[in-house]
Structure 1
Amino acid sequence: MNWISEWALPKIKTLFGAPREVPENLWHTCPACEQMIFHRDLERNLHVCTHCGHHMRVGARQRLDYTLDAGWSRIELPKAPQDPLRFRDQRRYVDRLRETQTRTAQEDAVVVAHGMIEGSKVVAAAFEFSFMGGSMGAGVGEALVTAARLAVLQDAPLIVFTASGGARMQEGAISLMQMPRTVIATRMVKEAGLPYIVVLCDPTTGGVTASFAMLGDIQIAEPGALIGFAGARVIEQTVREKLPEGFQRAEYLLEHGILDMVVKRPEMRATLARLIGLLRVPERLAVPAEAFVALPAPAEADDAPTPA
């Protein structure tokens, strides 16, 4: 102990006041380029890195805020049976489920809402990857069927934002049964003559990719999104070949015809509004009958050769 600690430091603290606590979430590190980004700049850019353009993962409600007009409404979903198989690994499935529901403030891995995109009526379903990896169980299947029925009822396009690791293993065969259920849901929308648009976000894999996620009238993906069924190592071990670089990324799939377009997040809202306008108002593209002018039949030439 000396005069600095006993006298000088207390005087300095009294002069300048108590140190203010600095929030821990003011700066974020980009997982791609590892650059620091101020939180307000990141939110202003819709969680897209301002340095390298990397699209960070966002929650379901956040994605709906970015896409839909202000004032969208969340739909109350039917209750699905919890823990139908009484599954247990290191912990009981019902305990994991309740903990995740409390942490995310959601009943399951999908949020369904209805609202507007630049004045066009839509029904949207968005996956929450932080809810058990966005895995598809009975609750997710019920949510997508509900979204499809609502789209038909409201005569509105259905837009689904996927971000999932696939089927939920804790629900076993019940989870796999959601694959045909969700396919039937997409058929309901298409048979009603309504657009069904899928936006594939990072990551979209497993049984979600093998069912409704690849059945959209328009297939869109965010830049760099991981999209596939099985993991790269599993495929390499099966085919015993070295896979191309980035073969499960959005840009590779676009190049090989799996996707229709890759759209940056800040441009997604305007792109969806334009697509809905084209798909829902076909008369805008129709050419009026007055534009067609009957052409006279070609006159026969006097010196045309006579047939033999």
Structure 2
Amino acid sequence: MNWINTVVRPKLRSFLSRREMPENLWIKCPETGEMVFHRDLEANLWVVPNSGFHMRMPARKRLESFFDGGSYERIATPGVTIDPLKFRDTKKYVDRLKEYRTRSGEDDCVYVGRGKVEGMDFTAAVQDFDFMGGSLGMAAGEAILTGMQAAVQARTPFVLFVASGGARMQEGILSLMQMPRTTVGVQMLREARLPYIVVLTNPTTGGVSASYAMLGDVHIAEPGAVIGFAGRRVIEQTIREKLPEDFQSAEYLLDHGMVDMVVKRHDMKATIARLAGILMKRQIELPELDAPLPTVAA
């Protein structure tokens, strides 16, 4: 072999061959079909610039955008028994968990952090829908409860960004038990007179919407978020009626009194800080007057 075959030809082939491009550089808006460059979308908090459509936001990025300067302290959550029911469908539950943990780098779908928002101390938790649909299992329940306890200990408001398909079927009744357990955590916040603010993102459904997601002092929804318990098709088959087109949307729930406000993602941080400030100030007790007020002569 000579140098033409061993050196020149391979270099020419590599130069002339078509360069492979990643498939996720451009993201299509589900509402308008607009193509948006992924970096532009990320810089705009995953909101499509022209249509205003709110795409699903990565859990870690949501925490970073919420806390001042993207700086916060992760709160460690206790471990739980893995696969207590030895569940298996098309795949073993243990293997399914390993797959999602490897992909996400996290133990489960709920992350908890503490930091400052508009200069005010906050404790916040976020559900990652990309981790098994944000389903509520023992680990998620422990994480939410830990976040609530941390808020009570630090005397801070607690904010929960919800995104879930409901309870995790692979854990059966142990998953459903997280509904009353997290409700106890909400009661702890109430007894401590600390604000509990829930942000309903797309989607919030199933047992999650039947428990802690609807027990907040204030319920905020992102535009267009799907919020409900049973699916649209199930309800239509049950009542044998056609539901409105915007049924279970954030705007529909706002019109019917199920959520307090629909807030765009860019305004979310300032809105939550303002609400928490108002709620915390209401807890301040006025000092008692030592002497009665002087009477004014007529």
- Into which bin does the TM-score normalised by the smaller protein fall? 0.7 to 0.9
Aligned equivalents of 2:256 and 2:296: distance in 1? 42
Map of 1:45-84 to 2, 5 A cutoff? 45-70=44-69, 71-84=71-84
Shift in CA distance, 245/24, structure 1 to aligned 2, threshold 3 Å: closer
**Structure 2 partner of 1:185:** 185
- Tell me how far 1:279 sits from its aligned partner: 1.1
**Structure 2 partner of 1:41:** 40
State the secondary structure of the residue aligned to 1:235: helix
State the secondary structure of the residue aligned to 1:161: strand
1:124-179 Cα shifts (integer Å, max 9, x gaps): 00000010000000001101110111000000000000000000000000011010
Aligned equivalents of 2:96 and 2:59: distance in 1? 20
Greater Cα radius of gyration, structure 1 or 2: 1
**Structure 2 partner of 1:302:** none
State the secondary structure of the residue aligned to 2:143: helix
1:233-275 Cα shifts (integer Å, max 9, x gaps): 1111222222122110000000111111000001111111111
State the secondary structure of the residue aligned to 2:68: coil
- Tell me how far 1:283 sits from its aligned partner: 8.3
- Tell me how far 1:45 sits from its aligned partner: 1.0
Aligned equivalents of 2:294 and 2:53: distance in 1? 52
Letter in 2 for 1:47: W
**Structure 1 partner of 2:5:** none
- Tell me how far 1:181 sits from its aligned partner: 0.5
Aligned equivalents of 2:91 and 2:18: distance in 1? 43
**Structure 1 partner of 2:213:** 213
Letter in 2 for 1:174: L
- Is 1:163–2:163 an aligned residue pair? yes
Shift in CA distance, 18/239, structure 1 to aligned 2, threshold 3 Å: closer
Letter in 1 for 2:222: E
Letter in 2 for 1:55: H
State the secondary structure of the residue aligned to 1:43: helix
What is the TM-score with the length of structure 2 in the denominator? 0.88
Map of 1:198-209 to 2, 5 A cutoff? 198-209=198-209
Letter in 2 for 1:216: G
**Structure 1 partner of 2:31:** 32
Aligned equivalents of 1:296 and 1:252: distance in 2? 57
Letter in 2 for 1:45: N
Shift in CA distance, 296/28, structure 1 to aligned 2, threshold 3 Å: farther
Map of 1:80-91 to 2, 5 A cutoff? 80-91=80-91
What is the TM-score with the length of structure 1 in the denominator? 0.85
- Tell me how far 1:40 sits from its aligned partner: 2.5
- Tell me how far 1:60 sits from its aligned partner: 1.2
Between the two proteins, what is the percent identity of the paired residues?
Answer: 56
Shift in CA distance, 165/104, structure 1 to aligned 2, threshold 3 Å: same
- Tell me how far 1:295 sits from its aligned partner: 8.8
Alpha-carbon RMSD: 2.4
Unaligned runs of 5+ in 2: 1-8
State the secondary structure of the residue aligned to 2:200: strand
**Structure 2 partner of 1:7:** none
- Is 1:231–2:249 an aligned residue pair? no
State the secondary structure of the residue aligned to 1:216: coil
Shift in CA distance, 237/294, structure 1 to aligned 2, threshold 3 Å: farther
- Tell me how far 1:184 sits from its aligned partner: 0.6
Shift in CA distance, 164/296, structure 1 to aligned 2, threshold 3 Å: farther
Aligned equivalents of 1:141 and 1:75: distance in 2? 14
**Structure 2 partner of 1:5:** none
Contact 2:136 2:178 in 1 (8 A): yes
State the secondary structure of the residue aligned to 1:61: helix
- Tell me how far 1:75 sits from its aligned partner: 1.2
State the secondary structure of the residue aligned to 2:199: strand
Unaligned runs of 5+ in 1: 1-9, 298-308
State the secondary structure of the residue aligned to 1:136: coil
Aligned equivalents of 1:206 and 1:17: distance in 2? 53
Aligned equivalents of 2:18 and 2:102: distance in 1? 34
